[in-house]
Amino acid sequence: MKLAPLLMIEATAFLLIIVETYFFFNFVVPLGPIGHTFTEYTGLALLKVFLIVGLAVFWFVVMVGMTRLYVRSRVGNSPKPSS
């Protein structure tokens, strides 16, 4: 099956979205009550932003890595032109 690697990339993307959504709503959103001082509020807001950016970067790194692995496997299997 030539489409199996592509289906695995798509399935991984789907599972990463589900896992990261679970992580976001169960860990990032309820990080605790927001403090009433400017520094507490800003610190918590920045922590949440960094966690969200980290989730996005993780997703892209995994997807780019799997895509590069797929492309390398396809380039190695391509027929060589005869001269």
| Mean model confidence pLDDT for the chain | 87
Give the tens place of pLDDT for each residue, 29-47: 887 777 788 888 888 889 8
Structural domain harbouring 29: 7-74
Whether 59 is covered by a domain: the verdict is yes
Query: What domain count does the chain have?
Result: 1
Whether 33 is covered by a domain: the verdict is yes
Average pLDDT over residues 3-17: 92
Whether 54 is covered by a domain: the verdict is yes
Q: Which residues of 19-37 are buried (b: 16+ CB within 10 A; e: fewer)?
A: ebeeeeeeebeeeeeeeee
pTM: 0.76
